Amino acid sequence: MASPEFRIERAGPGDLRELHELEVKCFGKDAYSKATLRFLLTDSRCISFKAVMDDGSLAGFIIGRLENIGGKTVGRIYTINVDPRFRRMGIAKALMKKIEAEFAAWGCVEIILEVAVDNRPALELYRSLGFKFTRLLKDYYGPGRHAYEAKKLLSESIIRSR
Ligand X SMILES: CC(C)(COP(=O)(O)OP(=O)(O)OC[C@H]1O[C@@H](n2cnc3c(N)ncnc32)[C@H](O)[C@@H]1OP(=O)(O)O)[C@@H](O)C(=O)NCCC(=O)NCCS
CB 52 within 8 A of CB 59: yes
Q: Which is nearer to ligand X, 70 or 84 (CB)?
A: 84
Rounded CA-CA distance 149/127 in Å is 12
Pairing of strands 110-116, 72-82: parallel
Rounded CA-CA distance 112/100 in Å is 11
- In sequence order, the β-bridge partners of residue 115 are 148
17, 88, 156, 160: which one binds ligand X (CB under 6 A): 88
Q: Does position 162 bind ligand X by CB under 6 A?
A: no
In the chain, the amino acid numbered 113 is: L
41, 80, 111, 154: which one binds ligand X (CB under 6 A): 80
- Write the binding mask 7 to 36 for ligand X: x where contact by CB under 6 A, - elsewhere: -------------------x----------
The least distance separating ligand X from the CB of residue 102, rounded to whole angstroms, comes to 17
Q: Does position 63 bind ligand X by CB under 6 A?
A: no
The least distance separating ligand X from the CB of residue 86, rounded to whole angstroms, comes to 7
> Which residue, among 113, 110, 112, 125, has the nearest Cα to 156 in the 3D structure?
110
Rounded CA-CA distance 113/126 in Å is 9
- Write the binding mask 98 to 137 for ligand X: x where contact by CB under 6 A, - elsewhere: -----------------x---xxxx-xx--x---------
Q: Which parts of this chain interact with ligand X (CB under 6 A)?
A: 26, 80-82, 87-93, 115, 119-122, 124-125, 128
